[in-house]
Amino acid sequence: MARSRSLPPRLLGAGFRGFSLLPLAISFVVLVCLSLLAIQLWMTLRAREVQLDEAGRESANLAQAVAQHAYDTIKEADTVLVGLVERVETDGVSDPELARMHKLLVNRVAELRQLHGIFIYASDGSWLVNSQKTLLSNLNNADRDYFNYHRTHADRGPYVGPPVRSKSTGDWIVTVSRRINMPDGSFGGVALATIDMNYFRLFYERFSIGEKGAIFIANGQGILLLRRPFDESLLGRDLSQFPVFHDYLPKGPVGTAVIRSRVDGVTRINSYRRVEEYPLVVSAALSQDEVLAAWRLDTVMQNAVGGVLVLLIAFIGYRVVRQIDLRVKSEAGLVEARNELEMINETLARLASQDGLTGLANRRHFDQSLLAEFSRAQREDSSLGLVLIDVDFFKQYNDIYGHVAGDECLRKIGKVVAYSMRRPGDLAARYGGEEMVILLPGTELPGALAVAEGVRQAVQSLGIEHSGNALGVVTASVGVAAFIPKHLENQAVELVELADTALYKAKALGRNQVCYESSSEIAAEQAATAFAFR
């Protein structure tokens, strides 16, 4: 059978005579550039969405903490009132009984530091007894909102009134009150507990919410009790027509929404919730501009790099197109252009597999290597080890020393992790954020633990100052997993899950230590040789 031969270059060029590759090549380059721009835009928008989602979860957790604090504070005060109301209605208000109550109230206020005072008023508003060491008897509170409420409402539940200034001390207070009934069910007075507003202020000031974040607590009618940042002129303001009360709370007692404040005009990611059992609403909000500040900076940098890359590709594409157009009849020209494109693709592929900050492999490279090594371990019936490293209190480190110092810290730790690779098959990668990972093919649990402990000690030995860590230096928690994967029984993600579980165990046990997890089939035989890392 005759062997076919390729056409000579001259005939090949003649076969394409009259047809130009230039428009097709130009279209290809434009399509690549547009695709890169589209991917960059998608990644930018996705990063923004992730940032806002994280801020929403943070504000929701913050609102939960504020709500729980408000509930606990009101509950303690209300519990005292319940006992006082029952005592007054049962034992009456004779002079001996009032004297006994006075001692009790003084002790209660001394025990509960959030209480400003406890008072019992008669049906005409006069003071019967209170928690003051020297009793005042010439004052009357019949004009107070809480007194008028209980006088006109037969409801026996607690009432949280608007903020007022104490008549006895002049301090701003939050009032919690209950109605006292006469034996015939008629109005017999009011039992009142007052909470020092500074107690709430000091608690709210502990939260890191940025310069434009806000926290507020209001009663069930939408009357503002307290707000951070504190503004005395806003106390008692009616918020019932504001979006949280008017638009969102009617749909559900808990939620998160992006709302532009009517108080200061700041757009915030606002998480709100009603307090169970008591007529209170709390809200914790983070400034959207502050939340997205880092994202905007990253976007500018990424777009600048992406723009340069697109220009570079466009320029290279132009050169390639020109070469194609000039050398379409020359096979040597086609080979040269093809080689140039292969070199460019190889460079881009190499850049795409490396983490730009630490110099380690990136997450994508790690995922690919994990699948490949997992399959190899299944075929060869060998053990595969994984070491997952997380820098302790890294968020606090960034908050204290700044993100530039945080990046430098990760670079130093990345060098330590890279140095831990002793064999050609080992892979060190940045798993995400402050987490790094070491993949150890052909390594059982004892060997993986030895590598992990070496990394932990090396990180601590760096001596990077960290005032947010009890040890005063940067440390790391390490989770280790290793097992022999079985075909059709195990998946690669199980190794990562075991290491992640071990990492959480290390953090739960106090950080700066190595913990391990192992599958049930090999746990018994490896426990005898594993190091005692807990």
Positions annotated as catalytic residues are: 434
255 SS3 class: strand
C-beta of residue 224 within 8 angstroms of C-beta of residue 218:
yes
Find where tokens 């960034």 sit: 398
139 SS3 class: coil
CA angle 249, 253, 256 (to 5 degrees): 75
Burial (CB count within 10 angstroms: exposed 0-12, middle 13-18, buried 19+), residue 287: buried
Residue/partner pairs of 503-509 with CB below 8 Å, 24 or more apart: 503/388, 503/390, 503/477, 503/478, 503/479, 504/479, 505/479, 506/477, 506/478, 506/479, 507/390, 507/392, 507/477, 509/534
CA angle 486, 487, 488 (to 5 degrees): 115
Q: Which are the contacts of 264, defined by CB distance < 8 A and separation ≥ 6?
A: none
How does 319-338 read in b/e, with b if 16+ C-beta sit within 10 Å?
ebbebbeebbeeeebbeebe
Find where tokens 């503002």 sit: 224
C-beta of residue 317 within 8 angstroms of C-beta of residue 36:
no
C-beta of residue 290 within 8 angstroms of C-beta of residue 212:
yes
477 SS3 class: strand
Distances (CA, A) of 506 to 388, 391, 420, 510, 534: 11, 12, 20, 7, 7
Q: How far apart are CA 289 and CA 361, in angstroms?
A: 33
> Residue 469: CA atoms inside 13 Å, Cβ hemisphere, count?
24
Q: How far apart are CA 229 and CA 278, in angstroms?
A: 24
At 528, which amino acid appears? A
Alpha helical stretches, state H, 359-471: 363-380, 394-401, 403-419, 445-461
436 SS3 class: strand
